[in-house]
Amino acid sequence: MSHSMRFRRSTSHRAGYPVSVAISATSDNARSHMGNWYVLLIAVTTLFVIFGCVRAETPVDSTSPATGAAADESSEESLAILAGGCFWCTEAVFERMEGVTDVVSGYIGGRNANPTYRQVCTGMTGHAEAVQVFYDPSKTSFAEILKVFFKTHDPTTLNRQGVDTGTQYRSSVFYLDEEQKRIAADYIKELDTHGDFRNPIVTKLEKATEFYPAEEYHQDYFRRNPNAAYCQRVVVDKVRKFNRNFGDKIKEELK
């Protein structure tokens, strides 16, 4: 799956089932002729139903590689891909942000295809734990996404966030196009010059490569496991930091 594909957690795996139709034979030629046309009509209708179901279940390309703009079935979306340590933390923060329509945890920037969590945790695959942040550009922007990103993790510690160490926990912006790269580079320069960080920012700018959604149990981890030890010890602090600094950006239903 490329970085441009949306991971659909709610998608049913049910395929379209053909409808069995039985038509009674008759000796009357006219009625038999009409029966044949009726069978043909039912068959064609069934095919439309089947292909309609299959099409509905097939993931669609949700971004434009040239611009990073994501096209949902009913509205325009944009996409940012960010790595800021454990993806449970980053996901929990952005799921609270107004304008964000979906967040997907996964792996990016590594060497082998379809890595597992256990493989990535060794630090040997080169992947970073990252999130795809889908957002409505009429409600927020890539620049606003970056402000939240840099304020809710430490971009000055190389390959480390708190007790989590290794290249899989690196701070990185995986840009989708040159515009995102420019915006991120300019903001990092601004933070290094006028920001509140004592040490230089070490966040990498990496061209987005294949993004592999993490295993299902990693998705919405904080929401599903708010009382887990790591969530209480680490994730909660990131969420509270977002709440303190971006009270105006919290989704209305979460205030």
Which residues are the active-site residues? 86
The total number of residues written for the chain in this structure: 255
| Chain position carrying tokens 């449970």 | 88
Token pair recorded at residue 221: 């981890």
**Residue by residue, what is the 3-state secondary structure of 90-145?**
HHHHHCCECCEEEEEEEEECCCCCCCCHHHHHCCCCCCEEEEEEEECCCCCCHHHH
Crossing angle of helices 142-151/236-245, nearest 10°? 120
What is the greatest pairwise CA distance in the chain? 92
SS3 87: helix
Determine the residue type at 181: K
Token pair recorded at residue 213: 């959604």
**Do 235 and 87 touch, CB atoms closer than 8 A?**
no
User: b/e map of 100-109 (b: 16 or more CB within 10 Å)?
Assistant: bebbbbbbbb
SS3 85: coil
Q: To the nearest 10°, report the CA torsion of 159, 133, 223, 57.
A: -120
